[in-house]
Amino acid sequence: MRGKVAKGFNVKDFELKGIQDLVKNINTHLDGLKIRSSKGMLHAAMFIRRDMEKTEPKIPVDTGNLRGSWFTNPVKGRFGPGVLMGFTAAYAVYVHENMEATFNRPGSGAKFFEAALLRNKREIVRIIKDSL
């Protein structure tokens, strides 16, 4: 990413917008499942990660730190197993939400994570259902 990321940058000034509603929407489609599979959730997370590499907007890459900070963690939720996924790089939210940035990697851009979740809602549900 080009620009002044570090100067005047404060992670607390940025928040993810839209992802909470998107996750609620996906969970609504999963509510009818009596059994949920951690395996299916992790497979869906891997699908999302691969999609962010090949479909625009792709994960922005400068040094590779952001891309390498991807994580998935199975969790036990109120309604059964779930998965926590995202990026641990301290500036991940800034890069994700910065609609004015110019990125070095062709095809990369802001909202890369949200876009992958949004365009793959049905596929996420299908992967989870097929794992049961």
pLDDT of residue 129: 86
Contacts of 41 (CB under 8 A, 6+ apart): 74, 81, 82, 83, 128
> Average pLDDT for residues 100-114, to the nearest whole number?
95
DSSP string, 74-123: EEEETTEEEEEEEE-STTHHHHHH-TT-B-SSTTB-TTHHHHHHHHTHHH
The residue type found at 75 is V
pTM flag (> 0.85): no
Helix (H, G, I), strand (E, B) or coil at 114: helix
pLDDT of residue 4: 39
pLDDT of residue 42: 93
Phi, psi angles (nearest 5°) of residue 2: -100, 145
> What pLDDT digit, counting tens, does each position of 9-42 carry?
454 555 556 667 766 767 666 665 555 678 888 9
> What pLDDT digit, counting tens, does each position of 41-82 carry?
899 999 999 999 999 999 999 999 999 999 999 998 777 788
How far apart, in whole angstroms, are the C-alpha atoms of residue 14 and residue 58?
20
What are the residue ranges spanned by the domains of the chain? 11-130
